[in-house]
Amino acid sequence: MTWLNRGHIRTRLTLAFMAVLAVVLLLYSTAAGLILLRDLRKQMARYAIQDLETVEGLLYFDAAGRLKLRDDYHNHAESKLVLERLLEVRSPEGRVLLANDVLGARSLGDRILPREGEGGYSARSMTLADGEKVQLVSRRHVIDGWPTIIRVGYKESPLWAQFEAGLLALILPLPLILAVAGVGGYLLASRALKPIERMAREAEAITSEKLHERLPVNDSDGELADLARVFNSVLVRLQLSFDQLRRFTSDASHELRTPLAAMRSVGEVGLQKAGDATAYRDVIGSMLEEASHLTRLVDSLLTVARADAGQLNLHQTVFPAGDLARDCASLFDAVLEEGGQQLRIEVAEDVRVRGDWLLLRQALVNVFHNAIKYTPGGGSIVARILRQRGSGKDQAVFEVEDSGPGIPTEALERVFDRFYRADASRSREAGGTGLGLAIARWNVEAHGGDISAHHAANGGCLVRIVIPCTGAAGPKAEPLSAHALV
């Protein structure tokens, strides 16, 4: 039966509850049994003392000097019951003066123990010669001027019989109690797990097309409400990831289709028109330009895919941040000369960073390329490198400021998203893929840094990269002149 499946939580909870209850009941029964046994022993000792006091008033010496026990003393209801007890009277020397018929030829102890019965009642347990266990009470008593030691014993067999009956009364109901508790525990567990079952059915109905749906949150459910909130937060992250994946797929398809369509169009036009070698060379050149753009796009897509998959490993070394910036700037000599632009690097101090040279170089190159692309002819780009104190440690700061038209305020947070363009038409005309700054952000964040875009004081755009730095600051370096990279 499925409800007995040990893999079900309700079954495990019920079994655990029954196990704990069984242990508690056994501990309770054991403690109750021990208390019952102690009380029975105390009661037996009390009865023995009462019988001994009764015996003291019934003993006498006859004319022949023999110790007798009167049986005509009926003022006490216990007087006849004395005959059912083990009775033995001895002299201080240990000689038996009297033994009742119940005791017979047996003895309650052949020798007198030191100080036995002196100053009160001496109680102890003993075993007779025939194996009978006895609860014994003794006391010294003077009869007609003769000192004696009176011993009264109770057989423990009735005590154990009563103890076993009481213990049996405690143990017999346990299976019934456990059965009732098991059924009740199972019903309670089922009721407690119903919200989880309902939550599971609702979660099962949420597919990739229904990620916008959420589980209901009822604050009265306590921990289950927290579970629903956590699950809803997971759904939010999944929805964002799916939306990002859909946008990425759509944007990538669109970006790939554009150069492919251009290549096909150029090729078809070239085939339809008869031309000389120069015309065909122009057609092939146009196709190669689109192929180059397509290659850059595919390389960027592979970089993004590897970054998302965590397949880009950092090969960290320590190097001066200024050397990194100069190396990146040197790649744009021809572009700057063609556009009549200036790129100035200002190094405030010798800042050293620990990181992967190639990844940080790629990030800074993408930022430089973006700044140069949007800076009009004759404009200038300034790259600053400085050290700042933040989050309890030194940080290296790269600031790249251009003199272009700037970025709208609503686009500042989105310029690092994949395929995002503040001006899509201008970016495509300039050969951009919309992935450069996204790759730069991943490279910077992989080093524990941060990249952000801001409005520059001159109306352009300021991109700031902050990464942890290492090493002590060296002597202040002279900034490069404005014509160093022209």
Reported as a single tens digit per residue, the pLDDT across 170-222 is 888 888 988 888 888 888 888 877 777 787 787 777 777 777 777 777 777 67
Residue 84 — pLDDT band, cuts 50, 70, 90? low
Q: 460 — phi, psi (to 5°)?
A: -85, -155
86 beta partners? 153
Residue-level pLDDT at 35: 92
Which of 452, 473, 471, 449 shows the shortest CA–CA distance to 462? 452
Residue-level pLDDT at 72: 57
Residue 183 lies in a domain: no
Same domain? 384 vs 421: yes
**Exposure of 365 in the CB half-sphere (CA atoms within 13 A):** 16
Residue-level pLDDT at 312: 65
Residue 194 lies in a domain: no
Q: How far apart are CA 60 and CA 68, in angstroms?
A: 5
Mean pLDDT of the chain: 79
Share of residues in the chain with pLDDT > 90 (%): 9
- Contact yes or no for 51/85 (Cβ under 8 A): yes
Same domain? 105 vs 60: yes
Residue-level pLDDT at 462: 92
Same domain? 393 vs 423: yes
Mean per-residue pLDDT, 270-299: 74
Higher pLDDT among residues 409 and 251, named by residue: 409
Residue with tokens 């005791």: 103
Q: How far apart are CA 480 and CA 328, in angstroms?
A: 14
Q: Which residue type sits at 18? A: M
Same domain? 254 vs 270: yes
Same domain? 292 vs 324: no
Mean per-residue pLDDT, 441-461: 87
- Contact yes or no for 419/394 (Cβ under 8 A): no
Q: 188-223: buried (b, 16+ CB within 10 Å) or exposed (e) per residue?
A: ebbeebebeeebeeeeeebeeeebeebbeeeeeeee
Residue 349 lies in a domain: yes
Residue-level pLDDT at 258: 64
Which of 441, 445, 353, 444 shows the shortest CA–CA distance to 394? 353
Same domain? 43 vs 151: yes
Same domain? 339 vs 246: no
The 3-class secondary structure across 41-96, one letter per residue, is: HHHHHHHHHHHHHHHHHHEEECCCCCEEECCCCCCCCCCCHHHHCEEEEECCCCCE
pLDDT in tens, 104-138: 888 888 888 888 888 888 888 888 888 888 888 89
Q: Which residue type sits at 484? A: A
Same domain? 327 vs 419: yes
Helix, strand or coil, per DSSP, at residue 412: coil
- The angle at the Cα of 74, spanning 73 to 79, to the nearest 5 degrees, equals 85
Q: Does residue 380 register a pLDDT over 50?
A: yes
Residue-level pLDDT at 426: 42
End-to-end CA distance of the chain: 84
Q: Which two tokens stand for residue 171?
A: 């143990």
Domain span including residue 151: 10-169
- Give the DSSP H or E segment for 139: strand 133-143
Residue 213 lies in a domain: no
Burial of 36 (0-12, 13-18, 19+ CB in 10 A): middle
Q: DSSP characters for 140-206?
A: EEEETTEEEEEEEEEESHHHHHHHHHHHHHHHTHHHHHHHHHHHHHHHHHHHHHHHHHHHHHHHHT-
277, 308, 339 - which closes a domain? 308
- SS3 percent helix, strand, coil of the chain, rounded to 5, is 50, 20, 30
The 3-class secondary structure across 260-296, one letter per residue, is: HHHHHHHHHHHHHCCCCHHHHHHHHHHHHHHHHHHHH
Residue 24 lies in a domain: yes
- Contact yes or no for 380/350 (Cβ under 8 A): no
Residue-level pLDDT at 475: 36
For residue 375, give the CATH number of its domain: 3.30.565.10
Residue 389 lies in a domain: yes
Q: DSSP characters for 207-231?
A: -GGGTT------GGGTHHHHHHHHH
Residue 176 lies in a domain: no
Q: Which two tokens stand for residue 282?
A: 């122009």
Residue 212 lies in a domain: no
274, 308, 342 - which closes a domain? 308
Q: How far apart are CA 252 and CA 254, in angstroms?
A: 5
pLDDT in tens, 323-337: 999 999 888 888 888
Residue 471 — pLDDT band, cuts 50, 70, 90? low
Residue-level pLDDT at 391: 67
Which of 355, 320, 353 shows the shortest CA–CA distance to 443? 355
Question: pTM for this one?
Answer: 0.49
Which of 91, 31, 86, 84 shows the shortest CA–CA distance to 61? 91
Q: Does residue 358 register a pLDDT over 50?
A: yes
Same domain? 388 vs 253: no
Q: Which two tokens stand for residue 417?
A: 């998203």
Mean per-residue pLDDT, 418-446: 66
For residue 231, give the CATH number of its domain: 1.10.287.130
Q: Which two tokens stand for residue 74?
A: 């009926």
Q: Does residue 274 register a pLDDT over 50?
A: yes
308, 328, 347 - which closes a domain? 308
Same domain? 299 vs 321: no
Same domain? 299 vs 389: no
For residue 137, give the CATH number of its domain: 3.30.450
Same domain? 85 vs 223: no
Residue-level pLDDT at 5: 58
Residue-level pLDDT at 305: 67
pLDDT in tens, 24-70: 999 998 999 899 888 888 888 888 888 888 888 888 888 888 888 87
Question: What is the total count of domains within the chain?
Answer: 3
Which of 315, 304, 310 shows the shortest CA–CA distance to 438? 304
Residue-level pLDDT at 228: 81
